[in-house]
Amino acid sequence: MSAHTKSSYWSIFKNGLFGENPVFRLALSLCPAVAVTNKVKNGVLMGVAVLFVMVMVNATVSLIRNFINPKVRIPSYMFIIATWVTVTDLVIAAYSRAVYKEMGLYIMLIVAFAIVLSRAEVFAMRNKLLPSMIDGAGMGMGFLLALVILGVFRELLGSGTLWGVPVVQAKPLLIMVLPTGGFFAMGLVMGLLHWDDRKYFGGTGSGGGAH
């Protein structure tokens, strides 16, 4: 593998982490991000599930892209996404009942995540297998990173704990574990990152949003 190819793959991966971070830059899948980040553990588990689904969906779409009729490509994507989400759901249900009890409903909602569908259409449908898998990994890691940041911020302020372990003895701000606090935390972190990007890196801020 040439140095140029390695650099190109790293650029694809880094784009998902920072340049087009699904939550903080593209503002996609905000509602599920808020729903699961009242605890760091829940955010990590959801992020890992989304990471797996995105890699597998991108890989599948890339492999069969020449056989997908353009007229039915969206239903095809949804079928592929639903298949991998079902696999993820069944594996978690079989091997980690405690996790499934908390996250089962949210895992099934990955089917409706805009970021998964958008990367299948925008990237995997137009690229070969390895770049598509790297794009899925980058976007999935970007989503996971965003959920961890939000989870740490909300759990620390709202409960005084991290991963359920007490770390702050002060009276917690209970609003931070509620949906209102989730959107407040997201807006605050998003605004801070965009201000930093504009001031120091010449960025232009985020794009539009969807669920």
Domain locations along the chain = 23-201
Q: Which long-range contacts (CB under 8 A, 24 or more apart) does 90-95 make?
A: 92/49
**Could you read off the pLDDT tens digit of each residue along the chain, which spans 211 residues?**
555 577 799 999 999 988 889 998 888 888 888 888 988 998 999 999 999 999 999 999 999 999 999 999 999 999 999 999 999 999 989 988 887 887 878 888 899 898 999 999 999 999 999 999 999 999 999 999 999 999 999 999 999 999 888 888 888 888 898 888 889 888 888 888 777 777 766 555 444 444 5
Task: Estimate to the nearest angstrom the gap between the alpha carbon of 143 and the chain centroid.
Answer: 3
CA distance 86 to 110: 10
C-alpha 128/C-alpha 111 separation (Å) is: 23
- 158 in Cβ contact with 176 (< 8 Å): yes
Tokens describing residue 171: 């009276």
Residue 132 Cα distances to 22, 43, 99, 207, angstroms = 16, 24, 29, 22
Phi/psi at 169 (nearest 5 deg)? -90, -10
CA nearest neighbour of 182 among 148, 138, 151: 151
Q: Look up residue 41 and give its two tokens.
A: 């553990």
- The pTM assigned to this predicted structure is 0.89
Q: What is the pLDDT of residue 132?
A: 97
Residue 203 confidence (pLDDT): 59
Longest distance between any two alpha carbons in the chain, whole Å: 59
Q: What is the pLDDT of residue 80?
A: 97
Alpha carbon 16 to chain centroid distance? Answer: 10
Amino acid at 179: P
> What is the separation of C-alpha 81 from the centre of its chain, rounded to a whole number of angstroms?
14
